[in-house]
Amino acid sequence: MSVFYQVACRIGFHPWEDLAEHPPFATKLAELLDREESGLTPPFGRALDVGTGSGVWGVWLARRGWDVTAIDVVEPALRRARERAERADVAMRIMRADVTSLSERDVGDGFRLVLDTGTFHGIDRAERAAMGRAVSAVASPDATVLLGVFAPGRRGPLPRGATRDEVEAAFAGWKVTDVEVADTDPDALARKLKFDEHWYRLRRE
Ligand SMILES: C[S@@+](CC[C@H](N)C(=O)[O-])C[C@H]1O[C@@H](n2cnc3c(N)ncnc32)[C@H](O)[C@@H]1O
């Protein structure tokens, strides 16, 4: 999958970044974050943005008051994330790391929030299990994991999606507390490709 993202980044193909400007998606994610921040004042704690790409959501989290570490495996995307953070004038850690083997890099731990907008559903079963273990090892006891996941389906080189059972299998020791429609007004392409994306909110059992 990372070859796909290497190529996508080189040719400037990154339609997922447009979701930040798509209110039906961005407002829903903001609502989910409001819930995690409710009753607290910034700083809210450490957040890990996995598969950050060009840092759209990592920067957004940092602006909201999270202490963000953003990781990805595609260096040119990380370069764009660093530029984005600089333009936004936010401090965040941006580093190359694989979400399936976080302990190999010094990403830190104690993350109260783990956000994944589009990585889990594009990796294979073994990688998903490794991601579940890696995230469990760095997340705090009271952490929330938010995974944006397409419904299963074949979409050429695009992510094949995942079922709720697959989410639960990968995140042993976690419980899915909520499943919410991610995009209440999908655009024509999203509808055509049947993304049917949902947010999975997980907490430790
Ligand atoms: C659909 S893009 C989403 C990017 C970003 N989260 C966003 O919403 O704009 C998925 C990202 O996951 C990254 N990725 C894929 N496999 C990964 C892995 N094993 N570890 C870390 N990042 C990975 C890709 O390089 C890509 O940037």
In this structure, what CATH number is given to the domain that contains residue 188? 3.40.50.150
Percent of the chain with pLDDT over 70: 100
Is there an atom of ligand 1 within 6 Å of 57 CB?
A: yes
Number of domains in the chain: 1
How far is the C-alpha of 149 from the C-alpha of 151, rounded, in Å?
7
Nearest CA to ligand 1 atom 9: 17
Flag whether pLDDT at 192 surpasses 90: no
Q: What is the mean pLDDT of residues 104-119?
A: 95
Domain hosting 6: range is 2-204
Percent of the chain with pLDDT over 90: 82
Which mutation among 1, 3, 72 tests ligand 1's pocket best, with the greatest number of atoms within 8 A of CB?
A: 72
Is there an atom of ligand 1 within 6 Å of 98 CB?
A: yes
40: which residues sit within 8 A by CB, 6+ positions away? none
- Copy the structure tokens of residue 84: 């984005």
Flag whether pLDDT at 10 surpasses 90: no
Residue 157 confidence (pLDDT): 85
Q: Which of 74-78, 101-105, 147-151, 162-166 has the lowest mean pLDDT?
A: 101-105
